[in-house]
Amino acid sequence: MLDIHFIRENVDIVKAGAAKKRINTDIDRLLAVDDERKMLRQELDAKKAEQNRRSNEIQRAQGAEREKVIEAMQHLKSGMAESEEKLKGVMEEWQKLMLTVPNIPDMSVPDGESDADNLEVKKWGEPTVFAFTPKNHVEIMTALDMADFERGTKVAGFRGYFLKGDGVLLANAVWQLALKHFSAKGLTLLGAPSLVRREAFLGTGYLPQGEDDLYKTQDGDYLAGTAEVATMAYYMNESIDLSKGPIQFLAFSPCFRREAGAHGKDVRGLIRVHEFFKWEQVILCKAEHDESVRLHEALNRNTEEFIELLNIPYHTVTNCGGDLGLGQVKKYDIELWVPGENTYREISSASYFHDFQTRRLNIRYRDAEGNLKFPHSLNSTAIPTPRILVSIVENYQQQDGTIKVPEALVPYVGKSVIGKVGK
């Protein structure tokens, strides 16, 4: 959430930011409602002052004069109740409008409508070349009994899957390597809940716009598609201590997404599923732009290093304005090479938000001068499963139908080849 004073002082910038993100928001209506809010607040303050004055008069007055003052007080109270009710309605609209105002993207964010307009900023490795016709991960994993997609659909519905045998072993190996790699960066480990209250989704900016993509319980809670939501809400309505440096978490959780806008896309296999697992990096730091930029690069680099451990070709892109969410100032996507589709596929996103999320979540800290401020927040996917298995299986497939295990995963898998007994 942006500060209303900032919005008022930078109307053109806020409107331009919304246009760059292709997000519809009515800034003019917000300012008109804000004017009404301030006017009603001033009226109420004046009536409260009048009420205090009348209360003092009642204490001094006697007889008929006292009755007259009491009658005037009753009329005043009736008017105050009417004004308070009117202010309540105005505040409801004001709050709804404020929640629709997007954060302003960084100047370095390229213009564009969708992910097709994202800008490549780095490329590592070359697309894998095979001396045979490669198969896709569904064919490979089915043949090696690493996954069962038919029974997954039977049991869990559309996009359902079972991991089996070496599929489970490989996913668990990725988790263990990720735990070792990312925790060495100084992040505090956190097991985060997936069932989260609405306030946390509003605070992180996933609501109200993204409700169609969330699973909702009958109690009004939601299932999160990332540990970011719960981890950011960990300090909701609290004051934190940043005197010793940023607070950094490595959070693990099951994740759930309806993929409401993805009908007909990636319907086979593990690319786009409703239920998955993910390690997530989350940081809270001082409200300094340069610090956010530095940590953003570091978070993204952490995941690049992990992909390089697996020796999988990737490229990193800067997301264009139309591919940014409501609160993001800037975002990188890391995309892995998927031989079965002859293209790169997203595996990780790294974003920074300035104080957009912390203002909504009411998280504060005291700066060196003792002033209360809203900290900056950042997050980045460390690694998700089972999607990472797609690139591992397809890039490491061999002509005889087996899969060579990436060297970094061999200690956790316990063998160097999947599909051959004794290897």
Q: Are strands 372-373 and 247-256 parallel, antiparallel or unpaired?
A: unpaired
Q: Which residue stretches of the chain have pLDDT < 70?
A: 51-52, 54-79, 260-267, 421-423
Which pLDDT belongs to residue 423?
44
Q: Residue 170 is inside which H or E element, if any?
A: helix 166-183
Each residue's pLDDT tens digit, 129-153: 999 999 999 999 999 999 999 999 9
Beta strands in 133-182 (DSSP E): 147-148, 162-163
pLDDT score recorded for residue 46? 81
What is the C-alpha separation between 365 and 240, in angstroms, rounded?
A: 5
Give the whole-angstrom CA distance, residue 319 versus residue 333: 7
Share of the chain above pLDDT 90, in %: 81
The helix (run of H) or strand (run of E) holding residue 357 is helix 356-361
Find, among 21, 229, 10, 4, the residue nearest to 97 by Cα.
Answer: 4
Would you give the DSSP letter of residue 373?
E
Average pLDDT, the chain: 92
pLDDT at 211: 84
* Predicted pLDDT at 48: 74
Q: Contact 120/332 with Cβ under 8 angstroms?
A: no
Instruction: Tell me 165's DSSP state.
Output: T
Place of tokens 């490989």: 170
For the whole model, what pTM was predicted?
0.90
Contact 322, 22 (CB under 8 A): yes
CA distance 273 to 164: 16
Residues known to be catalytic: 257, 272, 346, 349, 387
Peptide bond into 386 cis (omega under 30): yes
Vertex 238 angle, CA 234 and 242, to 5°: 85
pLDDT at 139: 96
3-state helix, strand, coil in the chain (%, to 5): 45, 20, 35
